[in-house]
Amino acid sequence: MSELPETENHTQKSKKLPQFVAVLLATIASFSIGTYLSWTSPALPLYNKNGTLFISDQEGSWICALLPAGAIVGTVPAGILADKFGRKKTICILSVLLLTCWLPISFAQTVNWIYLGRFVAGVSSGAVSVVIPIYASEIADDSIRGALGTIFQLQITIGILYAYISGLIGDVIGMSMFCAAIPALLLMVCPLLPESPVWLIREGRKEEAHYAIRKLRGQYYRTDDELNKLENNLTSQGDRVTFLDLIQYKKALIITLGLMVFQQLSGVNTLIFYAEKIFKTAGSSLSSTISSVIVGIVQVIATYFSTILIDRTGRKFLLFVSASVMSICMFTLSGYFHFQNEHDVSKFAWIPLLSFAVFIIIFSVGFGPIPWLMVGELFTNNAKSTASSITAITNWTLAFFVTKCFQDMVDIMGISSSFATFGMISLFGTLFVTTMVPETKGKTIEEVQIELYGFVQEPPSVGPKTQT
């Protein structure tokens, strides 16, 4: 292939903006996940308030929980589909599913239609949570890999805020159509996404990989070195790793699964799904809808700053601080609701909002984005799809149980003891981060592999495919 000569105008320096644009467009899918996650908070109270459809507490818990339940199913084939059809085409297919799921939710005459829409939306969300982190890690320069990786979580938080704001509409159909505009936008911008050069090289489509890299790095970027590096890495790393093969990545698997466990068992999804109900129970002077919007705004701002902090302060430090402060916030909420049963705490009704906001801030700069990012930093390219699938399965399975069981926990233990349980789990999370998690900031995948195992993992390989 022809290359432009290197002159004053034709530099080898990689441009960062095209990579940010590509990830921002792709993570509109994550934005859509956020709207599905938090839609229940403003929507469920409206059904009974407006008399359109009565939703019991148990039915409401199922409406919340069926999203992560569907996501468990969606994570299983996502990596395989992304490897077969490509990252770009898979994202486009998922955008169609994310859009159409709002129809049964919007116009449901019975709760079963809401169940169906939420479950299928969960399938799509689970697949997105596998494909998007893979795509972001494969198109990113090492120097901005951390920042690009956090955009996935940033877009989720923006989606959460967007759905909270939709509650101001005061109508379930209007809210749902408002949220449906996001996957519709994704469907329109999908053709603009460049395909992953890593996937193209694996498929033997080197010429297309050359143009994809140019689109991501700049018109005058010389692609030879990067193409050769990708080919050498894929040749040495071999074919796609199966679930059974992941045992040889034991340390990386323990770390990523552990981070997902502590992320979900921190109780974050219970706060997001039941935000309005929690604020109403707490007796806040602000309306529950406004309180939810305030928390959503805080979460977006905090997650944005995490994109700056993550490549400056390091992953391990942010995870440690995040788990520590989340534990304090949950114990504070527990204490508030404990004393609420015995004393007049109306003068301190601001405490739940403050604790909620601080929890969301610190989650958003640490345990929100970093566990997803670590999947791309601890595994070699041929293992990322499989590793992303199994970690996403773990994540969504835990999200399902925590979301579904929260109402049962409150019924059995009380809301104070429920929050105390989440606080203890985050406390154990600080110990896990201290003893198990390595620092990966600024390191290549090969350097991380050497730090974990003393060598780069090299399963049996046949190399990348040849183009026919």
Tell me: the pLDDT tens digits for 122-174? 999 999 988 998 898 888 887 777 778 778 888 998 998 899 898 888 888 89
The answer to the question of residue 204 being in a domain is no
The CATH number that applies at residue 436 is 1.20.1250.20
Q: How confident is the model at residue 464 (pLDDT cuts 50, 70, 90)?
A: very low
Burial 94-119 (b: 16+ CB within 10 A, else e): bbebbbebbebbbebeebebbbbbbb
Is 375 a domain residue? yes
Decide if pLDDT at 454 tops 80.
no
What contacts 93, CB < 8 A, 6 or more positions away? 81, 85
Model confidence at 8, pLDDT cuts 50, 70, 90, reads very low
Structure tokens at 296: 């959503």
pLDDT category of residue 10 using cuts at 50, 70 and 90: very low
pLDDT at 467: 44
Predicted local distance difference test score (pLDDT) of residue 462: 41
C-beta neighbour count of 234 within 10 angstroms:
20
Of 226-230, 282-286, 412-416, 446-450, least confident by mean pLDDT is 282-286
Higher local confidence (pLDDT), 109 or 2: 109
Most confident of 267-276, 328-337, 455-464: 328-337
What local confidence, expressed as pLDDT, does residue 3 receive? 44
User: Taking all residues of the chain, what is their mean pLDDT, rounded to a whole number?
Assistant: 82
Based on C-alpha coordinates, what's the Rg of the chain?
22
The first and second tokens of residue 378, run together, are: 């601890």
The percentage of residues in the chain with a pLDDT greater than 70, rounded to a whole number, is 87
Return the structure tokens found at 405: 């069981």
Q: Name the more confident of 13 and 112.
A: 112
Domains of the chain: total: 1
Residue type, 52: T
How many angstroms separate the most distant Cα atoms in the chain?
Answer: 78
> Is residue 265 in a domain?
yes
Q: Is residue 218 part of a domain?
A: no
Closest CA relative to residue 445, chosen from 15, 41, 141, 54: 141
Please report whether residue 2 resides in a domain. no
Residue 420 lies in a domain: yes
Total residue length of the chain: 468
Query: Residue 322 — pLDDT band, cuts 50, 70, 90?
Result: very high
Q: Is the pTM of this model over 0.85?
A: no
Residue 258 has pLDDT above 60, yes or no: yes
Looking at residue 240, what is its pLDDT? 64
Residue 309 CA to its chain's centroid (Å): 18
Q: How confident is the model at residue 64 (pLDDT cuts 50, 70, 90)?
A: confident
SS3 labels along 321-375: HHHHHHHHHHHHHHHHHHHHCCCCCHHHCHHHHHHHHHHHHHHHHCCCCHHHHHH
The whole-number pLDDT of residue 235 equals 64
Structure confidence by residue, pLDDT tens digits, 88-122: 999 999 999 999 999 999 888 889 999 999 999 99
Mean pLDDT of the region 243-265:
86
Q: Using one digit for the tens of pLDDT, what is the confidence trace for 44-63?
A: 888 877 667 788 878 888 88
Q: What is the pLDDT of residue 5?
A: 43
- Check whether 275 has a pLDDT greater than 80: no
Q: Which domain holds residue 369?
A: 17-193+238-453
Q: What pLDDT, on the 0 to 100 scale, is given for residue 237?
A: 56
User: ∠ CA(228), CA(231), CA(235), 5° rounding?
Assistant: 140
Please answer whether residues 212 and 197 qualify as being in contact, where contact means their C-beta atoms are separated by less than 8 angstroms.
yes
Tokens of 49: 């308030």
Q: Which is nearest to 408 in space by CA: 396, 395, 421, 397? A: 421
Distance CA 38, CA 44 (A): 10
Confidence of residue 2 (pLDDT cuts 50, 70, 90): very low
More confident residue, 328 or 339: 328
Residue 1 lies in a domain: no
* Residue in 390, 382, 401, 399 with CA at minimum distance from that of residue 458: 382
User: Is 227 inside any structural domain?
Assistant: no
**pLDDT given at position 35:** 94
User: Which residues are CB-contacts of 177 (< 8 A; sequence separation ≥ 6)?
Assistant: 102, 106
Looking at residue 468, its pLDDT comes to 37
